[in-house]
Every structure is written in C-alpha cells, then in structure tokens.
Amino acid sequence: MTPRDASDANDNRWSDLDRPPLNATALNRALVRDGEHGSLWRDVQVVERTGSTNSDLVALAGDGKADEGTVLVAEEQNAGRGRLDRSWTAPARSGLFFSVLLKPTGVPVERWGWLPLLTGVAVATALSRAAGVDTALKWPNDLLVTIEGEERKAGGILAERAGTDSVVVGIGINVTLRADELPVPGAGSLALAGAVSTDRDTVLRAVLRSLEDWYLRWRDAAGDPVASGLQETYAAGCATLGRVVRAELPGDRSITGEAVALDGDGRLVIATETGVQQPVGAGDVVHLRPA
C-alpha cells in the first residue's frame, strides 16, 4: 500500500468497521415529526468533521439559517470545546459530538441556567435505557461512569447563548473509545463501562428523545425546576452532593466544604467548615473524597 492509499483508507468513512457512520436520513425519519403532534426536532444534520458543532450552530442561528430544534452532529471534531475553554477531541466516530438549538419561549432568562443541568438529566436517563450504563452527574455538566470501581468522565455538556432568544447546547459522549485512546487518565467511555449497546444511532435517538421530553416538560412549567421535577431528579442523580469538594472560582479563589444542596437557580450550595453555606454558580468543582 502506498502512502496515498494509506491516507485514503484512514479518511474512508467505512475504514473502521467497529465505528460505522451515522445515517442522517434514518435519524430524521425517526426523530422529526410534523403535524399536530409534531416533535421538537426539526432537522438533524450530520457532517463528516468540523471544528466545533457549538460554534457552527451559534453561527447558523446568528445568520438566521437554523431554528429551534436544529441538531448538528459531527462524526469528528478537531476543535471541540468544553467549559473553561478546555479542548475536547476524540477519534472519528468514536463518540457522539452534537449540538442542539433551543428557544425557551415563555421561560424567564434567569432560569435558562438550568438548561445544562436538564441536559445532564436527559442524557443520563437515555444512557441508562439505551446503553445499560449507570451515569452520574458531576455538577454542573460532567457525565460520570464507573470503570473498575473508579469514576471516569465519559461526557460533558456546554451551553452557550445564541443571540437574545436562543441557547445552543453541545453534548459530547465517548462511546467506543478504547483504553489506549483515552486523552487523560480520568476519561472513560460507554464501552469501557460495560455498555450493553454501543450503537451510536440507537444512543443518539435515545438522548434526543429524552432531551425533548425533559425540555418540553420544563418549558411548559415556565422553567420552574420544582414543578417540572427537574431539581429533584438532578439532585437524585448528582454524584457531587454529599461529598467534600473544592470549587475553583473565577478570580483565583476557591471554596472547600461539603456540597449539600442545589438552590432554585441550579447553583451548588457548599457548607464550609465555618458553617457558612455558599452558593456557587460558576467554577470548576473537584471531588475530594467519596460520599
């Protein structure tokens, strides 16, 4: 095989038979419903590779080329972003890397901060059903699985404003990532966690259906986290609550204490050694020891 042939084989969408490509036509047929009982999802687009599906969808929304319910999926991302501008990269077709455009009409802007937490609940629910993997939520947006008794990060969520009326929510899930492909020691994947299914088509459908269910329930409740059941459900699946944590805050500050609750704005409440209960709305949380 010549170098050119090797390159062509690596670029071929069928070069890794364990990681077949997604079928956009089948996804649209399964997820997009018109009529009186139409679905949230209006268009599911699949691209071979891009820098960041979030950046692309924010740009499309800004140009008026995408409406609520648009889903943009990339088989490969080479400039994916997590919180705090961290990079997110993985081999082609080894995971699900996608973004959705939402317009929470009727929900006060101050409640939009629940969207990443809502997405976490939806994804964890879907992964349990479709992949048979118990997924815990690390506040505010990490998806944790257990591999050989150790918590590992198998996914993450990033929400960004897109103009005045829209939010783009990006989701990354490591599906078939192998041990020798892990980007950092604390990473994991559904396959390594013993998933009963790693069919990305099945998992993506389950995630989008679960996200539609939770989002519409929350929106119909005007974003009320109690009335929609979101606050209670997130707390029940949150691995951060009940643990001693360190919250790294903007401005090079940090707080250490026990994570005791979520408040009505989705902030993590940390009880410090001095007895102060400090709500944290932004920052990086480190689990210091198990509950």
pLDDT band at 13 (very low <50, low <70, confident <90, very high): low
- Partnered with residue 150 across adjacent β-strands are 147
User: Does 257 lie in the same domain as 190?
Assistant: no
Domain CATH code at residue 158: 3.30.930.10
The answer as to whether 5 is a domain residue is no
Mean pLDDT along residues 63-83: 86
CB-CB neighbours of 237 under 10 Å: 17
Domain CATH code at residue 263: 2.30.30.100
Overall number of domains in the chain: 2
Digit-coded pLDDT (tens) for 235-275:
999 999 999 999 998 888 999 999 999 999 999 999 999 98
pLDDT for the residue 168: 98
User: Does 128 lie in the same domain as 20?
Assistant: yes
Domain carrying residue 94: 16-236
pTM of the model: 0.91
Bond from prior residue into 20 cis (ω within 30 degrees of 0): no
pLDDT for the residue 88: 59
CA 212 to chain centre: 14
pLDDT for the residue 38: 79
The closest alpha carbon to 133, from 186, 91, 213, 192, belongs to 192
Rounded-to-integer distance, Cα 31 and Cα 96, Å: 16
Which stretches does DSSP call E strand in the chain? 43-50, 70-77, 80-81, 87-88, 95-102, 136-138, 142-147, 150-161, 167-174, 244-249, 253-262, 268-272, 277-280, 284-289
CB-CB neighbours of 225 under 10 Å: 24
User: Does 284 lie in the same domain as 182?
Assistant: no
Rounded-to-integer distance, Cα 106 and Cα 102, Å: 12
* Nearby residues of 150 by Cβ (< 8 Å), 6 or more positions away: none
Least confident of 15-24, 220-229, 249-258, 269-278: 15-24
Mean pLDDT along residues 162-166: 94
The answer as to whether 3 is a domain residue is no
pLDDT band at 82 (very low <50, low <70, confident <90, very high): low
The answer as to whether 1 is a domain residue is no
Digit-coded pLDDT (tens) for 181-217:
998 889 999 999 999 999 999 999 999 999 999 999 9
The answer as to whether 115 is a domain residue is yes
Taking a C-beta distance cutoff of 8 angstroms, is the pair 80, 50 a contact? Answer: no
CB-CB neighbours of 211 under 10 Å: 24
Rounded-to-integer distance, Cα 87 and Cα 80, Å: 6
User: Does 156 lie in the same domain as 102?
Assistant: yes
User: Does 280 lie in the same domain as 208?
Assistant: no
User: Does 209 lie in the same domain as 69?
Assistant: yes
Residue 283 has pLDDT above 90, yes or no: no
The answer as to whether 84 is a domain residue is yes
The answer as to whether 71 is a domain residue is yes
User: Does 127 lie in the same domain as 63?
Assistant: yes
User: Does 253 lie in the same domain as 218?
Assistant: no
The answer as to whether 6 is a domain residue is no
User: Does 193 lie in the same domain as 113?
Assistant: yes
